[in-house]
Amino acid sequence: MRVTQTEFPGLKLIEPTIYKDQRGYFFESYNYERMRDAGIDMIFTQDNQSRSQYGVIRGLHFQKKPFAQTKLIRVLQGKIYDVALDLRQKSPCFGKWYGLELSDENQYQLLIPKGFAHGFSVLSDYAVVFYKCDETYKPGSEDGILYSDPDLNIDWKIPPNLEIISVKDQGLKRFKESVLDFKYTDPI
């Protein structure tokens, strides 16, 4: 397993060691001791999975304090464009987003720490996305940022006429209208 720190403090790309032979492949998708040794020391308390068709954009979602979540994202089937938006005031990347493709081919995982909003678009016919959270879902704590906020200018890699977005996600606030209490000095 190789863990790479992105230019966004705390946001990490995880590339598993994949063993392939004539039967297929094998890899450890999660190993607490290896993660801890790589500086990722947390207990995950909830696993989530979604299946979405091409053109679906989910996000940008986060939970407010004190129930903020760190997420470990991976794709079981298909391909997505995964996006993390830094909400931590005084962060060198505050208000900026990071995006990359996660797929069942590259098997990359993205560790998104507390203080980030998360979203993704589906680039394949469908995608099954699996993620671990270090805090359980609390309905009263959920929040989000509008996926199409022109100030963020996120390229979701989906033509506008093919985007599929929930009514809830279409009604989220723009970044500059959001009340954010995450600080860069928060533990990541």
Catalytic residue among 98, 108, 131, 147: 131
Would you state the pLDDT for residue 50? 98
Q: Per residue in 82-95, pLDDT tens?
A: 999 999 999 999 99
Catalytic residue among 61, 81, 98, 118: 61
Q: Per residue in 132-160, pLDDT tens?
A: 999 999 999 999 999 999 999 999 999 99
61 annotated active-site: yes
Nearest residue to 188 via CA among 134, 136, 140, 142 = 134
Q: Per residue in 156-176, pLDDT tens?
A: 999 999 999 999 999 999 999
Q: Per residue in 25-79, pLDDT tens?
A: 999 999 999 999 988 999 999 999 999 999 999 999 999 999 999 999 999 999 9
Would you state the pLDDT for residue 185? 77
Distances (CA, A) of 155 to 60, 62, 115, 175: 13, 20, 21, 16
Distance in Å from the first CA to the final CA of the chain = 20
Residue 119: phi and psi, rounded to 5, are: -160, 170
Angular region, 63: left φ>0, alpha ψ -120 to 50, beta rest: beta
131 annotated active-site: yes
This prediction's pTM: 0.94
Q: Where do the domains of the chain lie, and which CATH numbers do they carry?
A: 2-177 (2.60.120.10)
Q: Per residue in 96-132, pLDDT tens?
A: 999 999 999 999 999 999 999 999 999 999 999 999 9
Nearest residue to 129 via CA among 73, 84, 83 = 73
* Integer Cα distance of 128 and 16 in angstroms: 18
